[in-house]
Chain A
Amino acid sequence: MYSVLLVEDDEFVCKAIEIILRKQDYIISIARNGQDAMQYLQKSKFDLVITDLMLPYANGMELVSKMRNELHLDVPILVLSAVTHEKTITEGFDIGVDDYLKKPFNPAELSSRVKRLIQQKEKNHLIH
């Protein structure tokens, strides 16, 4: 069983992703903003983080930056956001985002990306 942290302030999207991933045997924790997410990340280990970019208190970019630079976490990060500005997406990859999915999204695509990122993480761990 893999654990996924979902950082999303939209209740509808949260519920939908929660059900989709829970049905596939993932354990889902939900944080509604960047601050909550940091607390979760300090307490528990996750196999994947899915985050929105537009979040209250601390936005998604700040969260990614803190995860990589302050907490030194190597957990894969998938950004799920309606932001399509190329520069923002490139900046995201520069600071440590692993994958990007645009909202509105296809649940099947989300599911495969989640699976791929976790498999990739496992492979990397085996190599090291």
Chain B
Amino acid sequence: MDTITSLREWLDDLIYYFAYFPLVIQIAIIVSVLAVTGTIVAYVYMILFRWQKQRQAKKERPLREQVNELLLEHIIYKSVGDPDAPVALPLEDFKALPLHKKWVADVLIDQLLEYRNNFTGDIPRLLRQLYLDLGLHHKSATVLRSGHRKAIINALVELSGMGVLLEKEHVLALTQSRDRYIRESACSYWVQCSPDAPFEFFSHVKEPLLAWEQFELFRIISLRKDIPMPSFAQWIDPQYHPSVISLCLKLAAYFQQPEAIPAMIKMLDTPDEQLRALTINNLGKLMALEVEPILVKMYPQQPDSCKLEILKALGRIGSGDFIDFLRQELEQTEDFLLMKHAAHSIVAHKALASGLIARLQQSLTGTRQQVLQHSLNPLIKY
């Protein structure tokens, strides 16, 4: 009681004298009060959030165990026995679950996704079939047309994880959404699930595909083994968005599509320096022999980033026809990076360059010789 009274008196004093404090002290008190209140609110929020999560986990635990047992018993374990014997889906056992309750359906979907991510073989297909047979996809299909951003993204992630393509036209429209996150999820979903035209949206991209999106799309495309890859040259055209061209340049090189070389050569005239550098880089990866004289001819007018890529590309193509050009660059350039890459590219010519390397070791001095020696070290990655 005494403590409460004295605290009250202290607060009364503080309020009474507050007006008489210097301005700096008044500001300090306000800032301190705000900081303490903010910290308390944050902690209370964290405690409540964790408590709610824990309560939810406790509620879901028995159901998760039940679902685990059903999946392991009827699908996973049966597929171990005789891989060729057809596995009958235990629909009745799953229908016995109260799937009309949202949280039950969510737990089941969550488990199905987890199993699909962790197992290969016939299991992902069986789990997808179970998902469809139980009608768990209906909710996501409805949500796709709702206006709730978070719900749409979650539905796209769920359907993509289950490998189910629904609402084709609508999803294709979502790949043009003004919301970056919806657009990103829809693109990934479309590329991952579309059976016949996963790259259709490339032609309609108006907003840039960010570096991370390109990385993710590249990963998904490189993992798709169920469809033949189209010729990515069709999108290596200035009429398409530069980020689409950039992604397709990388894909054409990754899938070793030499038919993309003519389209790539046309791209060398682009005023976009970054795109030009990327084009040169990928021409090198495709070992486009016919491009060597073009690269050498354009070299003097190029900015440093493109010059660097030209030197790298000449090393990758390695025909030996322009080894003298590389030597000249190594001997004359004052730019350290260009010097380094000229040396690397000479060394990359291997047997074709052995005589030249021996001569250069004798004739070069100082930094240039050190750079050449460095490039000859096989432990240093090119």
Contacts and interface: CB of A to CB of B under 8 A. Distances in A.
A20 B77 contact: yes
A107 to B, nearest CB: 5
Nearest to B81: A108
Contacts of A13: 118
Contact of A16 (B72, B83, B120, B121): B72
Contact of A104 (B73, B80, B83, B119): B119
A103 B73 CA distance: 21
A45 interface: no
Contacts, number: 45
A104 B118 contact: yes
B323 interface: no
Nearest to A109: B121
A20 B114 CA distance: 17
Given A16-B76, A20-B76, A23-B77, A107 B123 contact: yes
Nearest to B77: A23
B117 interface: yes
A105 B124 CA distance: 11
B114 A107 contact: no
Contact of A105 (B73, B114, B119): B119
Interface in A12-27: 12-13, 15-16, 19-20, 23-24
A108 B79 CA distance: 7
A20 B117 contact: no
A24 B252 CA distance: 47
A100 to B, nearest CB: 15
A124 interface: no
23 contacts: A13-B118, A16-B118, A20-B77, A24-B80, A103-B118, A104-B117, A104-B119, A104-B120, A105-B118, A105-B119, A106-B119, A106-B120, A106-B121, A107-B76, A107-B77, A107-B79, A107-B80, A107-B119, A107-B121, A108-B79, A108-B83, A108-B121, A111-B80
Interface of A: 12-13, 15-16, 19-20, 23-24, 103-109, 111
Closest 6 CB pairs of A and B: A106-B121, A106-B120, A19-B72, A107-B80, A108-B80, A108-B83
